[in-house]
Structure formats: C-alpha cells, structure tokens
Structure 1
Amino acid sequence: MDIAVVGAGSLGSLLGGMLAREHDVTLVGREPHVGTVQREGLDVVGVESFRVDPAARTDVPDSADLAIVAVKSGDTAAAADALADCALDACLSVQNGIGNEETLAASLSCPVLAGTCTYGARLDGPGRVDFTGRGEVVLGPRAGGESAIADEVGAAFRAAGVETTVAADMPTRLWEKLAVNAAVNATTALARVENGALADGPGRELAADAARETARVARKAGIDLSDDRAVSLTERVVRDTAANRSSMLQDVAAGRRTEIDAINGYVADRAAGRAPVNETLTRLIRLWEARD
C-alpha cells in the first residue's frame, strides 16, 4: 500500500516508520526532520529499534492509496486543504479531539475513517523517534458501521506489525479517547509529570474527575459512555503508559502551542458550566500559552 503520513511528528513518524517495514510510506512534515530522513533514513529506538527509509517531504504527494492525518487538531483544516488535490482511495485521522474527520471529509472526495492510537512516541531529534510504549490503533468508519476500506486498512496495518482493531463503533471510541486525553494530557502537562504519576493520590483523583465530566458531556451528545467506563479506561492507559510523557507535556516542554481547545476546552465548551475541572485545566493551559 502507498501511504502518506501527513504530520510526521512524534506519533506520525512512529506509525510511518512501522508501516514502512511493509509498505511504501511518505512522511510529510517539517525541516530539519524530513531532510534528515531523506538523507539518512528514520531511526526508531526504544521499545523496538529499527531503521527504515521512507520517502520524506514537506508537501503532500500527488497521490496515495491512504493518507494518515496526524497533525495537531488546530492544523486539520490546512491538512484538508493540502490533501484536496491529492488522489486518494482513503484517509484516516489518528488525531486528538472530536470533529477532525468532519473537517477532512468536507474537503475530500474519498472515504474518511476515524481512528485512535495509544502507541507512545517522542521525536528525539531530526530523523530519530523514540518508541516509548506499545499500544493499539483502532479504526473504522467515522459514523460507525462496517466498510471494506476499513478492513483493508486494518489488514495493511497488521501486516506491518501495528496492533490494530477495526471497529464498528468509532463515535463511542472517539469519546472514550477524549475522556482519557482530558484526564491525562493537561494534568500531566501542568504538573510536569509522566503518566504514571496519575496512578494514585491527588493525580488519580483529578484525572478521574476530568474523565467523569467528559462522560457526562458524551451522554448529552447521545454517546453511551458511563462514568465508571471513562475512569477505568483512564486508569488502564495510565497503567499501560506509566513511563510515557503525554503529547501535551511534550508540547509544553518544547514551548509549543497545545491542543487544549480540542480536548479539555471542547468538553468545557459543551458542558454549559458543568465541567469545572475541565474548565480550570483549560484556563490554566491557556494562561501558560498566553505568556510573553
């Protein structure tokens, strides 16, 4: 399969690197990372260590069988515009937040699949990505149900050694992921701690409160997500990724703008004043982002 990974940061580079063991992959990202990959290949180190030689460029190719979108949620519209002139059979979002798939679908004529990914990654310099934790990709039609293209993409991922589930309930899966992200990302970013710090004590309580608030907003949106389910999923991710640094913690450490508006901010905006934990976390991250 010919695959273009749009957003070759930490996660995009890891997924692209794993897929390049079996498929023709093009990483679309920024310099100096893509230039180093062009010249020297991509080194994956950590949980698994290997070297691959995907193509790499700063612009979207003219065609691909599949585009994997891994950009920050705030860059989704720009990615959709860039992909509009690319001949695609399918597009898969593995981004954080809700609504990215709809933004992509508005510009693309191909099927747009929804996806979640719990693999841990950290870009460790140009041409090098640190594989920090095993996980799973879950993908399927964005509105739910089954499709042949989702099955084909799932098979391609599994052939490259990516743990993958093709699911018929992606709307629920996306809200479950949002609950976990709302619980983990801002909390670890503000406290400057790894995910495992939320396994007990005040970190666990704060994360659980954020997850419960997200579940309540999900139910208001028609998604069957109980408070207990949201908390248990959060606890499992914290346990399984204890040594990982969340994507928002990585952003804060690097001085980059975060995805707070697509995670805790999304929950707070739809809770009509009934998500005080998510609202407080959002305000604190926005305060940090507004610094001089």
Structure 2
Amino acid sequence: MRIVIFGAGSLGSLFGALLDGAHDVTLVGRDPHISAVREHGLRVTGVDDFEASPAATTDGTELDCDFAVVTVKAYDTAGAARDLATGDVGAAVSLQNGLGNEATLAAGLDCPVVAGTTSHGAMLSEPGVVEWTGRGDVVVGAWRGDGAAGEGGDVSREDEHGRGTAADPASGVAAAFRAASIGAEVESDIGRRLWRKLAVNAAINPVSALARIRNGRVFEGPTAEYAARAAREAADVARAEGVDLDAGAAVEAAQTVARRTADNRSSMFQDVAAGRRTEIDAVSGVVAERADEHGVDAPVNGLLCALLRGWEAGEGLR
C-alpha cells in the first residue's frame, strides 16, 4: 500500500520505518531530518536496531496515497489537512495527542477519517535517527463525528485484499499495520479509547513538563496527587459527554503508562526543554474548556493549562 506519514517527528518516523518493511512509505517532515533520511536512510535504535529507506519530502502537497498517518502536533492539524486536501488521499488516520484532531481533519478533507491511539514510544536522537523507546500497541476505529466507531455493524470488515472497505476504513488501516508486523486492532468504542488516552496525557504530560521529571516520577512524591486529580477530572468530563470512563480506571491507566515508560521524557517535557510550543491546548486545555461547558469542576487541568500557556506566552511561542 502507498502510505504517507504526515509529521515525521519521533513517532511518525518510527512508524514510517516500521511500515516501510511492507509498504511504499513517504515521510513528510522538516529539515534537517528529512534531508538526512533522503541521503542516508532512516535508522532505528533502541527496542530494535535496523535501517529503512522510505521516501522523504518537506512538501506535503499533491500526495497520492491509500492512507495518510497524521502525527503532527495538534496545533498543526489544520495545516496538515490543507496540504493533504491538495492530493488524492484514501483516508486520514490520526495517531496524535489530544482531543479534536479528527474533527479538524474531517473539516478539511473529503475522505474517511480514522481515529487511533498508540502506546509506542520514540524520540529523535539526531537527524535521520529515531530511538524506539518502548514497544506498544495501535488501536484504531472509524470516526463519524463524535469520536465513536462508524455505523454499519461489523467493525472488522475487509475486502478480498485485506484493505478494508470505504464504509470501514479502520480495518484496512489495521491490516496494513499488521502486514508490517505492527500489532494493531480495531476498536468499536474508539471514543472511550481517545478519552482514556487524554486522561493519561493530562496526568503525565503537563506535570512532567512543569516539574522537569521523567514519566516514572510523576506518580511519586509531591506530584502524584495532582497527576491523579488531573486524570480523574478528565474522566469526569468524559462521563459528562456520555463516555463511560471510570475515574479510578483513568488513574490506574495513567499509573500503568508512567511505570511502563518510566525512563521516558514525555513529548511535552521534550517540547519545553527544547523551547517549543506544547500541545497543552489539546490536552489540559480541552479538559478544562469542556468541563466549563458541562458545569464540571476541573481546577487542576485548568491550572496546568494556565501555567504552560503562561510559559509559552513568556517565550513568545503563542
């Protein structure tokens, strides 16, 4: 299959390298990383050590592919949709942090949108080299406008080539990942998965970024209670939106991820350390805003969002 990875940062580059073993992959990203991939290929270290040779470009317009995996920062999603809309894209697959990316893609593209989550970990070591910091899973589901799986019954339908159907693009995406030996499954209740991931990110990312600590320390010492409160608040908002997410289960999921990725620096911590804008708007920000809409209390998410937005403003990043 022809697959575009739109957003060849750490995670996008990892998936590009893994998918390149079974598909025709094109990375879309920025220099100097893209130039290094074009000249020397893409090397993966960490969990496994291998080299891949995907095509690579800095121009995301007029691309032709069976599906595009979107891994840009949440605030760049609208731009990604504009670029992809100039080409011929069979489906767009969001494997991004935060909530709302699928709606943004759907608004800008005339193709099916697939929502997804992943627990794989990656970090760009240098241009042309990505460190695979943790093996995880991929879960996808067809998005219809509310984060839920597409209507129409069986969510695992595939055509005779294993590509999925127009009514069920998620199964084709999962099959393509599995063809490259990447564990992937289709989830009928993808909305719940997205909210659970949001609760995990709300607990770990802003706390680790503000405290400058690795994931494993978030639920230790003085930050532990605030991380747990952030996850519980996200679950409270999810339930207000009709998503069945227990607060205790959300905290447990965040603690499990923190333990499993104990030595990792969260993506938000990496952004702050590098002086880059963060995805706080699509994580703590969306929790706080939707909490206000539903009359739910979410003071910890509101404070975490305000602190990181204040830092960004002071650095001239907003």
The TM tier, using the shorter chain, reads over 0.9
Superposed, 1:133-212 pairs within 5 Å as: 133-142=134-143, 143-145=148-150, 146=155, 148=164, 149-212=169-232
- What does residue 216 of structure 1 align with? 236
When the two structures are superposed, what TM-score results if normalisation uses the length of structure 2? 0.89
Q: Counterparts of 1:62 and 1:188 in 2: how far apart (Å)? A: 37
Show CA shifts across 1:113-142 (max 9, x none): 000111111111110111111111110111
Q: Which one is further off, 197-206 or 278-287?
A: 197-206
Specify the SS of the correspondent of 1:290. Answer: helix
Specify the SS of the correspondent of 1:271. Answer: helix
Superposed, 1:6-155 pairs within 5 Å as: 6-60=6-60, 61-142=62-143, 143-145=148-150, 146=155, 148=164, 149-155=169-175
Q: Counterparts of 2:181 and 2:219 in 1: how far apart (Å)? A: 29
Q: Counterparts of 1:202 and 1:86 in 2: how far apart (Å)? A: 50
Show CA shifts across 1:167-207 (max 9, x none): 11111111011000000000000111111112433332221
- RMSD, aligned CA: 1.2
Q: Counterparts of 2:95 and 2:260 in 1: how far apart (Å)? A: 19
Superposed, 1:219-238 pairs within 5 Å as: 219-238=239-258
Q: Counterparts of 1:62 and 1:127 in 2: how far apart (Å)? A: 22
Q: Counterparts of 1:261 and 1:38 in 2: how far apart (Å)? A: 33
**How many residues in Structure 1 have an aligned counterpart in Structure 2?**
292
Q: Counterparts of 2:290 and 2:140 in 1: how far apart (Å)? A: 25
- 4+ runs deviating over 4 angstroms: none
Q: Counterparts of 1:241 and 1:86 in 2: how far apart (Å)? A: 37
Specify the SS of the correspondent of 1:97. Answer: coil
Q: Which one is further off, 271-280 or 240-249?
A: 271-280
- Structure 2: which amino acid aligns with 1:111? P
Specify the SS of the correspondent of 1:25. Answer: strand
Specify the SS of the correspondent of 2:314. Answer: coil
When the two structures are superposed, what TM-score results if normalisation uses the length of structure 1? 0.97
Specify the SS of the correspondent of 1:45. Answer: strand
- What does residue 298 of structure 2 align with? 275
- What does residue 288 of structure 1 align with? 311
Q: Counterparts of 1:195 and 1:135 in 2: how far apart (Å)? A: 16
> Displacement of 1:98 after TM fit?
1.3
Specify the SS of the correspondent of 1:31. Answer: coil
- What does residue 161 of structure 2 align with? none
- Structure 2: which amino acid aligns with 1:282? C
Q: Any unmatched runs of 5+ in structure 2?
A: 158-163
Q: Counterparts of 1:115 and 1:39 in 2: how far apart (Å)? A: 31
- Structure 2: which amino acid aligns with 1:234? A
- Structure 2: which amino acid aligns with 1:14? L
Specify the SS of the correspondent of 2:99. Answer: coil
